[in-house]
Chains A and B, each alone.
Chain A
Amino acid sequence: KAGVTQTPRYLIKTRGQQVTLSCSPISGHRSVSWYQQTPGQGLQFLFEYFSETQRNKGNFPGRFSGRQFSNSRSEMNVSTLELGDSALYLCASSPAGTGNYEQYFGPGTRLTVT
């Protein structure tokens, strides 16, 4: 099976712009989670989508949003970019169910905001 794929791998944006990142989960996985990874804050949970519905949400401002399509592919959007949004954004997929299912991570999208 193909792994989790994320596009693009690298992105440079300017403050105030918006950005959309894409994630394709492992075939058959219905849950997609997004994380922000920075040297200072570590891995922080953004949100999780399951069957096109947001099931869990982390503590991020409303500028961060996401959605999931019927084929389980997911996108996250960040509007009005700030310098502090520079980070590695990781997507993870897992099968249906909760708690005891491991998450499989993609390679991430490195976002740089200038």
Chain B
Amino acid sequence: AQSVTQLGSHVSVSEGALVLLRCNYSSSVPPYLFWYVQYPNQGLQLLLKYTSAATLVKGINGFEAEFKKSETSFHLTKPSAHMSDAAEYFCAVSDVNTGNQFYFGTGTSLTVIP
């Protein structure tokens, strides 16, 4: 069965520091991987997705993620945190066996310290 593990339910970084949010997945076939961001009282917004093209995926707002098959990871990074990056981040996986069903991680709350 597919699953996603996000290490660290809360991450704090200083403004201007590197952001690293971890995501590990399990899937029996090549996965499709996604990162979403959720601001308070809003729905989820897609940051980026991996669908077996380039292993380094660039998304919106300066975020990027690297697919590492050997580590079954899809960590999200941003070189320099901004106050507006404070939000909840979710990693999700799907594959051809799940149809359009997404499996989400439990989320990581990012705090940016001024």
Contact = CB atoms under 8 A, between A and B. Distances in A.
A55 B30 CA distance: 21
B47 to A, nearest CB: 10
B104 A48 contact: no
A43 B46 contact: no
B98 A56 contact: yes
Interface string B42-55: 11111001011000
B101 A33 contact: yes
B100 A101 contact: yes
Interface in B65-114: 90, 94-96, 98-107
**Majority-rule SS of B interface residues:** loop
Nearest to A32: B100
Contacts, number: 70
B101 A42 contact: no
A70 interface: no
B103 to A, nearest CB: 7
Contact of B100 (A42, A43, A94, A104): A94
A105 B98 contact: no
B63 interface: no
A103 interface: yes
Interface residues of A, number: 28
Contact of B51 (A4, A58, A100, A106): A100
A99 B95 contact: yes
Given A42-B106, A100-B32, A90 B43 contact: yes
A106 B106 CA distance: 19
Given A43-B90, A99-B32, A99-B95, A55 B44 contact: no
B102 A98 contact: no
A99 B43 contact: no
Interface of B: 32, 34, 36, 41-46, 49, 51-52, 90, 94-96, 98-107
10 contacts: A55-B99, A98-B96, A98-B98, A98-B99, A99-B94, A99-B95, A100-B94, A101-B100, A102-B46, A107-B41
